[in-house]
């Protein structure tokens, strides 16, 4: 049985929500600005170790990785004996992100396919020698006064920085993304406006589940109005 949602306070003043939990795994909401897993600096706090310590799950393992500035849903396995099954569950799941991007796109929906080659600080879109990446973008609302748009991205592949590099290629980088934006104004944003919003998956009992977060308050504050998303799964 899955447990009800609950909010917990981690060391360092970070807040997270347990969105879904069963015997084998859990879904939790990572704050932006916190590494999802251990870095080269052993003294730097990271989401997985903070959560493992709080819940007393020493074998807690992150199945999906979010960038430092990206917030939202993280899937974590509780025990190592279910690693392969959890990885398969994640691979087969529908994963949707929300974002604020710079400017006003002249399209409402766009499917973007390309090849991505990994790099050190950033990834590159290449003609050959990379891995296939596919994202379906939908613009939900335009905000001309703030020169930005609110949208959703459904990723059909799980490449590093996939959404971010694609939106830059489309001419509308994620607001607050200092790596994939040519504008120096991006460094003045309070965060990167990319959030892992919804995960739809089949649990180990064969039942369809969908879990989504609230839209972060910073998103609505940035555009000066309450943002909403419709088209919830059946």
Q: Could you read off the pLDDT of 126-166 as tens digits, one per residue?
A: 988 899 999 999 999 999 999 999 999 999 998 999 999 99
For residues 161 and 25, what is the distance between their CA atoms, to the nearest angstrom?
Answer: 25
For residues 65 and 72, what is the distance between their CA atoms, to the nearest angstrom?
Answer: 11
pTM value is 0.94
What pLDDT, in 10s, does the model give residues 185-218?
A: 555 888 999 999 999 999 999 999 999 999 999 9
**What pLDDT does residue 232 have?**
63
Instruction: Report in angstroms the alpha-carbon separations of 19 from 50, 104, 193.
Output: 17, 33, 21
Domains and CATH numbers, the chain: 1-92 (3.30.2350.10), 94-199 (3.30.2350.10)
Considering only residues 3 and 145, tell me which one the structure prediction assigns the higher pLDDT.
145
Helices (H), 56-102: 83-92
């Amino acid at each position: 049985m899955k447990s009800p949602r609950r909010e917990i306070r981690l060391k360092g003043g970070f807040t997270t929500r347990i969105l879904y939990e069963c015997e084998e795994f859990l879904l939790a909401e990572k704050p932006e600005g916190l590494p999802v897993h251990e870095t080269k600096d052993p003294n730097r706090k990271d989401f997985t170790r903070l959560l493992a310590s709080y819940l007393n799950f020493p074998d807690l393992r992150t199945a999906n990785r979010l960038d430092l500035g990206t917030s939202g849903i993280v899937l974590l396995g509780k025990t190592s004996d279910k690693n392969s099954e959890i990885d398969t569950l994640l691979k087969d799941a529908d994963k949707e992100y929300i974002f604020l991007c710079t400017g006003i796109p002249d399209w409402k929906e766009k499917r973007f396919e390309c090849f991505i080659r990994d790099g050190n600080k950033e990834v590159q879109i290449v003609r050959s020698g990379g891995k296939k990446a596919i994202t379906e973008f939908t613009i939900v609302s335009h905000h001309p006064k703030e020169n930005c748009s609110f949208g959703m991205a459904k990723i059909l592949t799980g490449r590093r920085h996939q959404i971010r590099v694609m939106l830059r290629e489309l001419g509308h980088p994620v607001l607050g993304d200092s790596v994939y934006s040519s504008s120096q104004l991006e460094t003045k944003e309070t965060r990167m406006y990319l959030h892992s919003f919804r995960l739809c998956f089949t649990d180990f009992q064969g039942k369809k589940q969908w879990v989504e977060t609230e839209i972060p308050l910073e998103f609505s504050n940035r555009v000066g109005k309450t943002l909403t998303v419709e088209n919830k799964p059946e």
